[in-house]
Structure 1
């Protein structure tokens, strides 16, 4: 499964570039457990570190004191005294120990957990940083609405929202150029187009406008049709690459939006293009 790519067999593989501070929330995935069965975990690495565990869709929870130490970028944590809890029939709150680290490539706090108190309890964890406080009060199930979104991010191999927002902010669009009187995508542009698909699919609220253009050769009516075919070729590529059609807006200008003159072959080539913008 794709979510297995989030984890490494050794903590040597972790690349650390920042001290882990503040509040993180995420999921605990027990060994042998399906991803959608993962429970909820909060870490508060403040002056008095604590954890909070919740069961999805249920009101049981436990808040514990967390004892931590950091060595070579790896945080080792051990749950101790229970601060507050609500038990549920059939569930046992096992004291857990953690080994975790911040991973540059994903923007997540990742690692593993195990229990010396409960035999056979072990697994992996993935958390993201939040601007929240860790509650010591009863569980509000409606506030767990972030969990299925996060699980989908893990399942599809998406990076943290913070990293994705930075990738979107830094993304540089380039025109896609076409041969004379053609609407075929040149192979050298496919990697760039796939990067556009990746960025859009990483943001649920993002769409892209695709605008076809031509040089001035031919009639206005013909060039309108040609610019539409060029834009449609890009759309077909996007859909085949996994982008939903309703996240693409098509536009076509014919020869009416040149970026260079049409008196030279070089100028005409610059006008035979498709432009992009996020919307």
Structure 2
């Protein structure tokens, strides 16, 4: 499955203090457990390094001191003294050991956990950085609403919000050009169009406007229809590549918005295009 590949294919960077300082939150996925069953964990890499574990949907938690050392880009952590906790009948708070690494390509802190105290307790962990403090008070279940969203991100192989926002902000749009009187997409644009699909699918609130254009040859009516066919060709490509149709807005201008001189062949080529815009 996508999230399995996502979790296990790690490209680790050398960890710096700036990368890990602060608070991270994420999920603990026990071996043999479905991701939807994962529990919650917070790491506070501040002056007093600690962890907070929570059960999903229940007022049960434990806050512990975390002893750490970093070597070759890997944080090794060991939970020790309990600072505060609230138990739940049938649940045992097993002291955990962690091996974590920051992954440049995803922006996550991830790795594995295991328990020397409780036999058979082990699994994978994935966390993202937040601008929060780690509470030592009762669990407010409503504040766990981020968890299903994060799990859905992992299942779909999405990077951290910080990385995704950077990719969106720095994405450079280019027009897609067409041959004379044609609406077929040139093969050299396939990779670029798939990158657009990737960026949009990485954000739940992002759409794209696709606007078709033509040169000035032919009648106004014909050129409006041709610009629509060009925009529709892009939409068909996007949908086939995995983008939902309701995340695409179509527009077509015919010959009304030239960017080149329609008196030259070079200018006409510039006008035979489709433009893009995130909305």
The TM-score bracket by the shorter chain reads over 0.9
Number of corresponding residues: 277
- Distance in 2, matches of 1:63 and 1:177, equals 58
The answer as to 2:87 corresponding to 1:87 is: yes
Indicate conservation of the 8 Å contact 1:18/1:102, yes or no: no
Task: Return the alpha-carbon distance in structure 2 between the equivalents of residues 243 and 198 of structure 1.
Answer: 9
Distance 1:25 1:186 in 2: 44
* Alpha-carbon distance in structure 2 between the residues aligned to 1:159 and 1:18: 20
Q: Does 1:14 find its partner at 2:12?
A: yes
CA distance in 2, matches of 1:6, 1:74: 18
How far apart in 2 are the matches of 1:97 and 1:262? 68
Tell me the equivalent position of 1:121: 121
Q: Does the alignment pair 1:154 with 2:154?
A: yes
1:1-279 equivalences in 2 (<5 Å) = 1-8=1-8, 13-16=11-14, 18-19=16-17, 20-279=20-279
The worse-fitting range, judged by mean Cα deviation, of 112-121 and 16-25 is 16-25
Separation in structure 1 between the aligned mates of residue 130 and residue 146 of structure 2, nearest angstrom: 12
Deviation at 1:179?
Answer: 0.9
Q: Where does structure 1 lack aligned partners over 5 or more consecutive residues?
A: none
The Cα offsets for residues 221-242 of structure 1, whole Å up to 9 and x where unpaired, read as: 0000100111011111111111
Q: Partners in 2 of 1:198 and 1:140 — Cα distance? A: 35
**CA shift at 1:15, angstroms?**
2.0
| CA–CA distance in structure 1, aligned partners of residues 118 and 31 of structure 2 | 14
CA spacing shift, 1:211–1:18, aligned 2, 3 Å: farther
Query: In structure 2, what is the Cα distance between the partners aligned to 1:264 and 1:175?
Result: 19
Classify the secondary structure of the residue corresponding to 1:263.
coil
Question: What is the CA-CA distance between 1:40 and the residue it aligns to?
Answer: 0.4
> 1:8 offset after TM fit, Å?
4.1
Contact 2:49–2:67 under 8 Å retained in 1: yes
RMSD of the alignment, in Å? Answer: 1.2
Aligned to 2:159, the other structure's residue is in SS state coil
The alpha carbon displacement at 1:147 in A equals 0.5
The alpha-carbon deviation at position 89 of structure 1 amounts to 1.3
Q: Which runs of 5+ in 2 are unaligned?
A: none
